[in-house]
């Protein structure tokens, strides 16, 4: 079979929409606000911003560079620079860049399914006239229902496969061109509403006034993990999107654009949620339930208009999720179709089938399989469910390891002349700073974080 042709984005702007779409997801809107609330507000935000600048942007540039320079999906990309004595190691990293996103997708699709369930439920009025405690109970009921979880997960995988099967231009580009502007508009409406009716001043203090005594090693680790996940690093998406870039586009500019937009959306999500949470006096540190348990109460208290905002909010979440899931499926599908193994549509369907199969176990680990602890005999995995194990391995262990290995690859293995040319910064101070970060600061910093999280 003929290998599929390697396509390119229509413009730098469409790349930016897609890459920001990948970065902006459940990590920004669902996870960021509750992690901020649980970890001391301003202090967390400050460290997070520092990590995005020192680790995030240099790594984004490195991954984009590997993609663009090789014009290949991750495995092919890691093999195409040639001449390394430890090529087997780089092959393994390439494989890891294909498998990590698949691992993330198995649990990400389940949570994306929750957002579809909530958008639908809000629309038909399931969350109207909530009694005391009803919202927590409804969230528990969703988690306890194998049928519902599998149904919504199947839908989210189906949508993702449908889009990726259509290819770069008519699949991914068309989707992000519609969903990303919609996402920004909904987010702005929600922030405006929250700033008019909610306690905006308290939210600003909460998010931006750091209490330095709260900065602990654990906080730094949490911030680093959140930054990696939020910027889609170490997981193939950015690398494969980079491979669709044409040579006239500036990698440093794109990397800064992605990091800036992703961070802005995370902060805006905070400003959409905290003002109303504070104004209604509900618990702002409610953990993962902040969005799924607390917000329905708030929307309910708002009366009729609350239902509209509820639908908008969960649609926002669903759109953000979909533009991320497509970027998680793309690396493997691109690899299989460009290697000439399968046609793109077929590759997408096969990957979807595997994801669905594993996803069922992940979904059921919220209920019927909650007592199954696959690697429970190892201390590191004690008490972790199937979902817990996959999430820990893909989003904590291998994502960080991938980021570390790629910075070593770019800093020490790829020829300096290649990196110089790809960055387009000349042999300037900016280039030198980036190179220094990628050679020393990123591998050592990420290595240290990895050591602390895993070992
Ligand atoms: N960045 C996405 C989020 O914040 O929800 C998650 C993600 C997407 C991680 C794509 C990794 C990835 F490759």
Tokens at residue 205, please?
């203090």
| 404 vs 414: CA distance, rounded Å | 15
pLDDT value, residue 436 = 97
Looking up tokens 């995995």, which residue turns up? Answer: 381
**Which of ligand 1's atoms lies nearest the C-alpha of 399?**
11
Please tell me if the CB atom of residue 402 comes closer than 6 angstroms to any atom of ligand 1.
Answer: no
| 444 vs 289: CA distance, rounded Å | 35
Residue 129 Cα distances to 118, 141, 276, angstroms: 15, 17, 18
Please tell me if the CB atom of residue 44 comes closer than 6 angstroms to any atom of ligand 1.
Answer: no
Tokens at residue 413, please?
């293995």
Residue nearest to atom 10 of ligand 1 (CA): 232
What are the pLDDT tens digits along the chain (455 aa)? 788 889 999 999 999 999 999 999 999 999 999 999 988 899 999 999 999 999 999 999 999 999 999 999 999 999 999 778 899 999 999 999 999 999 999 999 999 999 999 999 999 999 888 887 888 899 999 999 999 999 999 999 999 999 999 999 999 999 999 999 999 999 999 999 889 989 999 999 999 999 999 998 888 888 988 999 999 999 999 999 999 999 999 999 999 999 999 999 999 999 999 998 898 888 787 788 889 988 898 888 888 888 998 999 999 999 999 999 999 999 999 999 998 889 999 999 999 999 999 999 999 999 999 999 999 999 888 999 999 999 989 988 899 999 999 999 999 999 999 999 999 999 999 999 999 999 999 999 998 888 877 76
Q: What is the pTM of this model?
A: 0.95
**Which of ligand 1's atoms lies nearest the C-alpha of 327?**
10
Tell whether 5 is covered by a domain. Answer: no
Q: Compute, in angstroms, the gap from residue 2 CA to the centroid of ligand 1.
A: 31
Q: In CATH, what number is assigned to the domain containing residue 186?
A: 1.20.1730
Tell whether 100 is covered by a domain. Answer: yes
The boundaries of the domain holding residue 238 are 12-454
Tell whether 414 is covered by a domain. Answer: yes
pLDDT value, residue 414 = 96
Please give the helix or strand (H or E) that residue 405 lies within, else none. helix 399-408
pLDDT value, residue 10 = 97
Tell whether 7 is covered by a domain. Answer: no
Cβ 135 vs Cβ 280: under 8 Å? no
pLDDT value, residue 199 = 92
Tokens at residue 3, please?
């290998």
Torsion of CA 259, 262, 263, 268, to 10 degrees: 160
Please tell me if the CB atom of residue 239 comes closer than 6 angstroms to any atom of ligand 1.
Answer: no
Question: Cβ contacts of residue 429 below 8 Å, gap of 6+?
Answer: none
**Which of ligand 1's atoms lies nearest the C-alpha of 25?**
5
Please tell me if the CB atom of residue 324 comes closer than 6 angstroms to any atom of ligand 1.
Answer: yes
Tell whether 308 is covered by a domain. Answer: yes
Rounded to the nearest angstrom, the gap between the alpha carbon of residue 271 and the centroid of all alpha carbons in its chain is 20
Please tell me if the CB atom of residue 226 comes closer than 6 angstroms to any atom of ligand 1.
Answer: no
| 225 vs 384: CA distance, rounded Å | 18
**Which of ligand 1's atoms lies nearest the C-alpha of 30?**
5
Q: Compute, in angstroms, the gap from residue 134 CA to the centroid of ligand 1.
A: 31
Domains: count for the chain = 1
| 223 vs 39: CA distance, rounded Å | 9
Tell whether 2 is covered by a domain. Answer: no
Residue nearest to atom 9 of ligand 1 (CA): 232
């Amino acid at each position: 079979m003929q290998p599929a042709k390697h396509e390119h984005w229509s413009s730098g702007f469409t790349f930016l929409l897609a890459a920001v779409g990948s970065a902006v997801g459940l990590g920004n809107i669902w996870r960021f606000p509750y992690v901020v609330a649980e970890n001391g507000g301003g202090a967390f935000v400050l460290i997070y911003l520092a990590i995005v600048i020192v680790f995030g942007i240099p790594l984004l540039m490195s991954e984009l560079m590997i993609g663009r320079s090789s014009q290949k999906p991750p495995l092919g990309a890691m093999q195409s620079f040639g001449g390394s004595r430890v090529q087997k190691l780089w092959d393994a990293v390439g494989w890891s860049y294909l498998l990590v996103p698949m691992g993330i997708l198995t649990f990400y699709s389940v949570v994306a399914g929750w957002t579809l369930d909530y958008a639908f439920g809000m629309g038909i009025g399931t969350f109207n006239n909530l009694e005391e405690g009803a919202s927590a109970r409804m969230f528990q009921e969703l988690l306890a229902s194998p049928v519902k979880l599998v149904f919504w997960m199947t839908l989210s995988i189906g949508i993702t496969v449908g889009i990726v099967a259509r290819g770069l231009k008519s699949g991914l580009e068309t989707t992000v061109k519609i969903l990303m502007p919609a996402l920004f508009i909904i987010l702005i409406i929600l922030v405006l509403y929250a700033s008019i009716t909610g306690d905006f001043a308290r939210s600003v203090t909460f998010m931006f006034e750091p209490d330095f005594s709260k900065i602990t090693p654990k906080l730094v680790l949490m911030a680093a993990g959140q930054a990696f996940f939020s910027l889609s690093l170490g997981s193939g998406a950015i690398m494969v999107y980079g491979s669709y870039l044409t040579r006239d586009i500036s990698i440093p500019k794109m990397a800064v654009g992605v990091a800036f937009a992703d961070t802005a959306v995370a902060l805006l999500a905070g400003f959409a949620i905290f003002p109303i949470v504070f104004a209604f006096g509900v618990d702002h540190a409610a953990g993962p339930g902040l969005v799924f348990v607390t917000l329905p109460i708030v929307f309910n208290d708002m009366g009729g208009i609350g239902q509209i905002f509820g639908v908008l909010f969960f649609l926002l979440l669903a759109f953000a999720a979909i533009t991320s899931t497509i970027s998680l499926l793309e690396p493997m599908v691109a690899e299989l179709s460009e290697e000439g193994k399968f046609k793109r549509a077929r590759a997408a369907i096969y990957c979807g089938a595997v994801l669905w199969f594993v996803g069922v176990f992940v979904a059921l680990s919220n209920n019927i399989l909650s007592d199954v602890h696959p690697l429970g005999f190892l201390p590191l995995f004690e008490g972790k469910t199937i979902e817990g194990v996959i999430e820990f391995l893909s989003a904590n262990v291998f994502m960080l390891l991938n980021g570390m290995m790629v910075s070593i690859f770019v800093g020490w293995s790829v020829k300096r002349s290649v990196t110089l040319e790809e960055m387009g910064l000349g042999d300037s101070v900016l280039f030198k700073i980036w190179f220094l970060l990628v050679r020393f600061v990123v591998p050592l910093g990420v290595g240290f974080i990895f050591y602390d999280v895993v070992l």
